Amino acid sequence: MIRIVFVATFLTLFGCESGTKTDTQKDPVQNDTEKDEENDVAKANKKSVVFPLPDGFVGRGNPDEYVVYSDSVERRDGRNVSTIRSIKPVNFATIISSIKPKKCIGKRISYTAWVKARDVTGWAGLWLRIDPKDPYSEECLGFDNMSGRPIHGTSDWAIYEIVLDVPEGADQLVYGALLDGDGQVWVDSMEIKIVDKKTPLTDRQRRLPKIL
**Per-residue pLDDT reduced to its tens digit, 181-196:** 999 999 999 999 999 9
Where b means 16+ CB within 10 Å and e means fewer, 6-45 reads: bebbbeebebbeebeeeeeebebeeeeebeebbeebeeeb
**In the chain, what percentage of residues exceed pLDDT 90?**
54
Closest alpha carbon to 29 in 69, 63, 58, 81: 69
Tell me, yes or no, whether 35 lies in a domain. Answer: yes
Checking if the pLDDT of 199 tops 90, the result is: yes
Predicted confidence (pLDDT) at residue 52 exceeds the cutoff of 90: no
pLDDT at 137 over 70: yes
Closest CA to 25 of 60, 54, 53, 58: 58
Which residues span the domain enclosing 110?
A: 6-195
Sign of the alpha-carbon torsion through 11, 89, 124, 110: negative
Inside any domain, residue 124: yes
Q: Any idea which of 56-60, 158-162, 199-203, 206-210 has the lowest mean pLDDT?
A: 206-210
Indicate which CATH number applies to the domain containing 16. Answer: 2.60.120.260
Q: Once rounded to an integer, what is the mean pLDDT over residues 92-117? A: 94
Q: What is the pLDDT of residue 116?
A: 97
Query: What is the mean predicted confidence (pLDDT) over 15-36?
Result: 37
53 belongs to a structural domain: yes
| In a domain? residue 202 | no
| 140 domain residue, yes or no | yes
* pLDDT-based confidence at residue 142 (cuts at 50, 70, 90): very high
Residues 71 and 12: their CA atoms lie apart, in Å, by 15
CA atoms within 13 A on the CB side of 97: 19
Query: Residue 176 falls within a domain, yes or no?
Result: yes
Q: What's the predicted TM-score (pTM) here?
A: 0.71
Average pLDDT over residues 90-108: 93
Domain count along the chain: 1
Question: In this structure, is residue 1 part of a structural domain?
Answer: no
What is the distance between the alpha carbons of residues 114 and 76, in angstroms, rounded to a whole number? 9
Pick the most confident of 4-8, 16-20, 120-124: 120-124
Least confident of 44-48, 58-62, 73-77, 106-110: 44-48
Residue 207 lies in a domain: no
